[in-house]
Structures are given as structure tokens and as C-alpha cells.
Structure 1
Amino acid sequence: MGHASDTGGVKPMSIAGRLVSERERLVGMTDAERAFRAQWLKDQHLSPNEPYFVPEMYKETHNPIRRFYRAPLDKFRTMIEPMVGADRALKIRYFTGKFLMVAAFGYGATYYFKYNGHDWTKKGGWNVVQSRKSVLEGDPGYPQVSDRSKGSDYSDRGFKEGSKNLTM
């Protein structure tokens, strides 16, 4: 199946005609073409009432769930619109929504990494593994031996430090 067309399957055409090009206008224009061009330019000016907001159109193009989650910021936009103007209020509404999404993601990530660590009290979680720095022959501290003295020190996932904190 093909993609949906913006023109409904009809080939697009310019309503300005050949006179949209400055070069074509310089070649020469008839009186009928001059009248057409003047009318076309006059038609480009919008009414002072434009753009007109149609509430029914908004309801048709936005489903109820989208209208529900957009409602708080839409209300915020209508509150600040008299103070800052329609265009600026729309931009503030847009960037406020983006900022709130980034802040929610940041708080969520912070909470997850703070309270879901990989330790002995739970099965899973965020595991951070740090490798020992490499020490080559001739470097100070060569040969670097493991700081773990016995086998039970490996993979304890903070058990020894945790059990000390639990008794205090």
C-alpha cells in the first residue's frame, strides 16, 4: 500500500501561477496577469481575526487522553497569555512541558540509582564494578597484590560493611 498523500492523490499545483517567479514577472506581464497578481497578493493578507481557534476542531484532532494530560499546561498557557502574549505563552507552555519531562526523568533516574544498588540485601540492582589500576614492572607499588585477603572477600556485595552498619 502507498503512503497517504497530502493532496489526496491529486498532483500539487501552485495557485500563484507562473508569476511567483520574479524572473517571469520581469519578462513582461499582461494587464490580466497584473490584476491576477495584485489580487493574489491581496489574498495573502489574513484577517485580524486569524488564526481562529475552533474548540470543536481541537476535540476532533486530540483524543480524550491527550486532552487530559495537556489540560494543566493549557490552563497555565491561558493564565499567562494576557501578560506575555499568545505566541510567547505558547512557547513558554511548550518548553515548560519539555523541562518537566526532563526533570521527571532526572528524578526517576536519581531515585533508581540511589535506592536500587547491587548489594547483599537484594538479588538485582545497578552494579558498578571498578577495575584495579594497572601497575607495571618499574611502577611504584609493583607487584600490586589483591586487597582481598581471603576467598570470602570476593563477591560479598557489601555484606561485611553492611553487617558492621547493622550492629551499630
Structure 2
Amino acid sequence: MASPTGGVKPIPIEGRLARERERLMGMTEAERQWRMKWLKDQELAPNEPRVVPEIRKELMNPIRRLYRLPLDTAFRALEPVMGERRAQIARYATGKVLITLFGAYALTYYFKYNANDWTRRGGWRVLTSSKSVLPGDSRFPKEPDRVLPSDYASRGFKNSPI
């Protein structure tokens, strides 16, 4: 990416007048005129900041422009009602919420329908520990869940309806 200064080291044009304390120590009339001119130069023209549509094509690849198109279109229509800044914030937040919801739904679907059981090799294998039963508990002493050797690593085969 190109440097904003074109590779040239930036220099502060305010000089010593950038700090308020320096200005309060006293300024010469030439410094006063220079400061007044500098402050006048900081004012934006009525047509600034300029919106250049070609920059969007330059900064965003076609795939990114495509997946941003639905929300951009919706919030461009809402911009006169909401205002430009609020529409930008709402568009940003809506995009993030939709991506988060999509991710949560995708994870839920994957964990629900791709469990690791005896019918397939892949999927997430979820192991749970048995609850501890201590003396004084109504379930004490607890009988072990796995008695036979076939109870171990069955991965749901013994409970299948087949």
C-alpha cells in the first residue's frame, strides 16, 4: 500500500504553535498572522469530504461488493430517514449481527446433524464425565454405567433402533 506522504517523512507545519502553552507564552505579530491563516486553511469546503464512487471499486474486490450489496441497498434507502452517520452505524451493526447469527446457526446445525456415532467416522465426538456421587448423597453408592465390555466405546450402537 502506498504511503500517505509518498515516502517522504512528514513534518508538522504548526511548528511551536501546536501546543497551547507555547501560544500563551506570547506570539509575534507574524506568528499571529501565520496561525490565523493556518486555522483558516483547516476549514473544509462546502463540498468536502468528497465522495468518489470509483474508490469503492478500487478498494473492494467484486466478491466483497457482491455480499455487501443487499445491506448497502437497504441502508442507502434508509439514509434519508436515519441520517448518513446513523445509517452507517446501523449497517455495520446489522452486518455483524447477521454474520454472528449465521455462524451460530451453522454451528448448531453441524453439531446436531453431524454427531460422531457408530454410523460414521467423522463429526464431533462429545464426551461427558459422569456426575460424582459422594457419601451422604441419596444415590450413594452409585452403580457403574458400564458393566459389560461391550458397553465401552459403543458410540450409540447399543441404543440404535435398528
What code does the residue aligned with 2:146 have?
Answer: R
Match of 1:68 in 2: 66
For residue 131 of structure 1, report the CA deviation from its aligned partner: 2.0
Identity %: 56
Distance 1:5 1:47, change over 3 A: closer
User: Secondary structure of 2:9's partner?
Assistant: coil
| TM-score between both structures, scaled by the size of structure 1 | 0.83
What code does the residue aligned with 1:125 have?
Answer: G
Match of 2:126 in 1: 128
Q: Which residue, out of 53, 56, 59, partners 1:58?
A: 56
Q: Deviations over 1:4-57 (max 9, x none)?
A: 754333222112222111111122212221111111111222123221111122
Report matched runs for 1:104-115 at 5 Å: 104-115=102-113
Of 102-111 and 54-63, deviating more is: 54-63
Match of 2:34 in 1: 36
Q: Which residue, out of 144, 147, 157, partners 2:155?
A: 157
User: Secondary structure of 1:32's partner?
Assistant: helix
For residue 63 of structure 1, report the CA deviation from its aligned partner: 2.1
Match of 1:103 in 2: 101
What code does the residue aligned with 1:74 have?
Answer: D
Gaps of 5+ in 2: none
What code does the residue aligned with 2:78 have?
Answer: I
**2-structure distance, mates of 1:133, 1:63:** 53
Match of 1:16 in 2: 14
Q: More helix per residue: 1 or 2?
A: 1
Distance 1:4 1:139, change over 3 A: farther
Superposed CA RMSD: 2.1
**1-structure distance, mates of 2:75, 2:14:** 37
Gaps of 5+ in 1: none
**1-structure distance, mates of 2:65, 2:145:** 59
Of 57-66 and 17-26, deviating more is: 57-66
